């Protein structure tokens, strides 16, 4: 680390402390040439996750878009905001664990549909109908058939 005053890179660490969240380390340093004391901060370099859309465009990952889509699919259904937040957190965590820099939007859509299927079948169908862009009623019915068959076996 170069001294801000004399520009020498010979210093010693006098004190180190982590932040309350544990994401930053604050270091007090002393230059061994001019004895200036100064503070530096060390944090993990966070590379932003990018989403590869169907068109090939790359955009920054935004968890709020996931939550907004789920809220829209669950409109007028008895699903709490806490459940939607938890599902969004779970999806975000899965994506962060499995992908370093880029994630296809299809992966995100699939994770959202799985989460909604667990929360409410109507929300799932609403989301799937928009996400999968069904061209006709047959495609839509093919999506519903496994759910209807599963309902008969219960």
- pLDDT at position 150 is 76
Cβ partners under 8 Å of residue 98, min gap 6? 107
Cβ partners under 8 Å of residue 1, min gap 6? 9, 11, 29, 40
Instruction: Tell me the average pLDDT across 51-71.
Output: 95
| Residue 49 banded pLDDT, cuts 50, 70, 90 | very high
DSSP code at position 102: E
C-alpha closest to that of 65 among 98, 39, 29, 91: 91
Backbone conformation region of residue 56, classed left if phi is above 0, alpha if psi is from -120 to 50, else beta: left
Q: What residues pair up with 103 in beta bridges, in sequence order?
A: 51
Helix crossing, 81-98 with 63-73: angle to 10°?
140
Residue 120 reports pLDDT greater than 70? yes
- pLDDT at position 152 is 56
* Half-sphere CA count of 31, side-chain side, radius 13 A: 15
Cα-to-chain-centroid distance, residue 103: 10
Return the structure tokens found at 129. Answer: 């109908």
């Amino acid at each position: 680390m170069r001294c801000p005053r004399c520009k020498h890179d010979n210093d010693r660490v006098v004190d180190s402390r982590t932040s309350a969240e544990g994401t930053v380390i604050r270091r007090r340093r002393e230059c061994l040439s001019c004895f200036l004391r100064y503070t530096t901060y060390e944090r993990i370099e966070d590379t932003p996750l990018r989403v590869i859309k169907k068109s090939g465009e790359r955009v920054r990952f935004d968890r709020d878009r996931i939550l907004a889509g789920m809220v829209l699919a669950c409109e007028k259904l008895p699903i709490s905001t806490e459940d939607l937040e938890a599902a969004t957190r779970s999806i975000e965590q899965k994506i962060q664990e499995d992908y370093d820099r880029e994630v296809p939007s299809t992966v995100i859509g699939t994770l959202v549909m799985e989460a909604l299927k667990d929360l409410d079948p109507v929300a799932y169908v609403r989301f799937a109908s928009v996400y999968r862009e069904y061209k006709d009623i047959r495609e839509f019915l093919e999506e519903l058939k496994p759910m209807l068959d599963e309902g008969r076996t219960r």
